[in-house]
Amino acid sequence: MPTNLLPASVLALLLATSCTVYAPMQPLMPLVSQRGQVEAWASSQFTGRLEATGAYSPVRRAVVTGALTVAPKLVQEYFLVTRQYEVGAGLYQPLGERCLLSALGGYGQAYNHRGYVDAALFGPGTYSEYEARYAKYFGQVGFAEMGSIATQGVTYRLVKADFSYLTDTRYGPLPLRSMLRHELAYFMRADVARRWKLTFATGFSISSTPKLDTDSRHPTYYWSAYHANRNLLIAYFMSLGIMLQPEHKSK
C-alpha cells in the first residue's frame, strides 16, 4: 500500500502501544453449536494485518479450528511483518437457547519482524527493530450470548511462546527463551444478510514472565536484557471483518 494512503504518522499511532515483537492472533470463540456446523470469518486490523479463521463441529459437542494471519511491510520505520498459523480442538456446551460456552487447546507457529520509533519529549526518538520465530501452545475459554440480530462474547487465552530465535538489529540474539502471556478479547457479530455477519473484536495480551535482571556493569548484557524485556510489554489488537455461517441442517 502506498505510504500516501497510510501515512507513517498513522502507523506510528497504531503501533505505539505494541513494542513487543510478539503479535497475538485474535483469541476469538467459535460459535458452532451443532454437529456438522461450519463457520468461517476474515478480518483486518488497522495496521493492514489480515486474519482468516475457520471452525467445524465433526461430532456433537466437539469443534476443530484453524487460523492464518499475514501482514506485509508497509513502510520503513513503523512496521509489523508477520506470518502465523494455529490449529486447535475443543468442546462447546450450549447453555439454554441463547448462551454458549467453549474451551479449546491448540498449537501454532509464528515469524514476526517489527520496527518502531519510541516517542521522545526532546529530540528524535530511539529506533528499535526485532525479529523472532516461535512456537506457541494455548488454552482458551469463551462465553457468548447470541441474540436475534447480534452476538457478543468474551474469551480468555493462556499462551506459552517458545522462541527458536529472538534478535535485535544492534545487539544480536536476546536472552529470552520463552514467555507466558494472558490474552483477553471482546467480540461482537451482527447480522447483515442471510448467513453473513459483520464482526468487531478488540483485546490485549500481557506477559506474566519475570523481567530479566538488567543490573549489570557489562553494557552489552545490559542492553540485551533491556531489549529482551521490551518484548514482555503489552500488545493490543482491534479488527473489523466479515463472517459466513453456511446453512446447516440439524443431524
CATH number of the domain within which 85 lies: 2.40.128.90
In a domain, 3, yes or no: no
CA–CA dist 101, 91 (Å, integer): 9
Q: For residue 83, give its domain range.
A: 8-244
The whole-number pLDDT of residue 9 equals 44
Give me the number of domains the chain comprises.
1
In a domain, 39, yes or no: yes
In a domain, 49, yes or no: yes
Is residue 216 scored above 70 in pLDDT?
no
Radius of gyration in angstroms for the set of CA atoms belonging to the chain, rounded to a whole number: 20
Question: Tens digits of per-residue pLDDT, 33-64?
Answer: 999 999 999 999 887 899 999 999 999 999 99
Place 86 in a pLDDT band, splitting at 50, 70 and 90.
very high
Is residue 114 scored above 90 in pLDDT?
yes
In a domain, 249, yes or no: no
In a domain, 186, yes or no: yes
* pTM confidence score: 0.87
If one compares 121 and 233, the residue with the highest pLDDT of the two is 233
CB-CB neighbours of 118 under 10 Å: 12
In a domain, 17, yes or no: yes
**Residue 226 is placed in which grid cell?**
533491556
Point out which residues pair with 108 in neighbouring strands: 86, 136
**Residue 230 is placed in which grid cell?**
521490551
Is residue 5 scored above 80 in pLDDT?
no
